[in-house]
Amino acid sequence: RDLHSFPTRRSSDLVRNFYTPSSQGVFTPTFIDYNWKSPYMIQYNASVQQQLPWNMMLGVAYVGNHGVHLPMVRDGNPIPPTSFGPCGDPASVCVDGKVPFWDSSAPNYTNLNSHFGSDINIATAATSRYNALQVVLQKRTSHGLEFEAAYTRSRVTDETQGQSNVQDCITSGGLLGVYPLNTSVDRGPACFDILNNWEINVLYHFPNPVKGNGFLSKVANGWFMSSIVSIQSGQPFSPLIATNRS
């Protein structure tokens, strides 16, 4: 059979009949979105530094970036809401001034293309934002001591992560998002978001107790002690349940 020929109605019917999302052991179509765009990143920062006594320096910086047209995995043939309700309940997802509802028993509960079930669409429809306050206190070497303490208060937000299952996250649940027709609903802390990060490193050169170039001086002199301390917040997580709470 010529693979470049347009499939007949019979062959498309066979595919449609075989693809049953509720059954085990069947395939799920996966495709790249036709309107693929080139992802890019916008970066910006501003910083100030101040020299302090005792060979010390204090630096404060704002660092940010904005990811545009990032790849994301979504349902390419979603089921639109069967009805809408008013906003107001904090537990509800309010989209464009109304809350979408899905009733599986409703006659309009069907995929956009009713001839197929859900499929996987990889599209450049996601964005990301990173904003951080960075503070650095540094002491240059004097009296054998030098250290640097750096603190970062940051926030990373996006709409799901990765273009393949569990590529960047620790769970695959909710990977396609909760509302493919409006990706802004899934905007929130990234799964690799670290709110607080504190890094401290210290290096101390012990005084040389023995003068000269003899064997004893080579053994007793030239000793250093160093330490690195890392303190950071935990990563966000999303609790998943298998039932409909509503």
For the ranges 8-12, 32-36, 83-87, 176-180, the one whose mean pLDDT is highest: 32-36
Q: Are strands 120-142 and 30-32 parallel, antiparallel or unpaired?
A: parallel
- Euclidean distance between CA atoms 109 and 84, whole angstroms: 13
Is 204 within 8 Å of 226 (Cβ atoms)?
yes
pLDDT tens for each residue of 14-66: 444 444 444 444 567 788 888 899 999 999 999 999 999 989 999 999 999 99
The gap between the terminal CA atoms of the chain, to the nearest Å, is 50
pLDDT tens for each residue of 140-198: 988 889 999 999 999 999 886 654 445 556 555 445 667 777 777 778 888 788 999 99
Q: Are strands 30-32 and 145-159 parallel, antiparallel or unpaired?
A: unpaired
